[in-house]
Amino acid sequence: MKPKPEIESARFPKIDCFFQAGRGRWDGYSGDEWGFGRPNLGREFLVEAARERAKETAVFAIILAAAAWPVIYMIITVVQLYWKTGR
């Protein structure tokens, strides 16, 4: 038995081909789906990105300081040892 197609070739749904969305008229959408009513969207994004960048920079500085501390301590120890044995 053959499966029955969901849409038969002779029975397509009716489509309104004369619908035109123009300025000043209802275009089928209500509300602010795409953010067209927010002219400061670019500035808001830049402010939020700057906040995130500041947080990431602070965390990176802490990690960098933790990684550099053994090297700094080694240099201090070598300098102290050099001054003790050089005199």
Q: Are 70 and 76 spatial neighbours (Cβ–Cβ below 8 Å)?
A: no
For residues 68-81, average pLDDT? 94
Joined tokens for residue 26 = 């209802």
Residue 41's identity, in one-letter code, is L
Q: Are 7 and 14 spatial neighbours (Cβ–Cβ below 8 Å)?
A: no
Mean pLDDT, the chain, rounded, equals 77
Q: Is 90 exceeded by the pLDDT of residue 55?
A: yes
Q: Is 60 exceeded by the pLDDT of residue 32?
A: no
Backbone angles phi, psi at 48, to 5 degrees: -65, -40
Q: Are 38 and 44 spatial neighbours (Cβ–Cβ below 8 Å)?
A: yes
- CA triplet 50, 53, 59: central angle to 5 degrees? 145
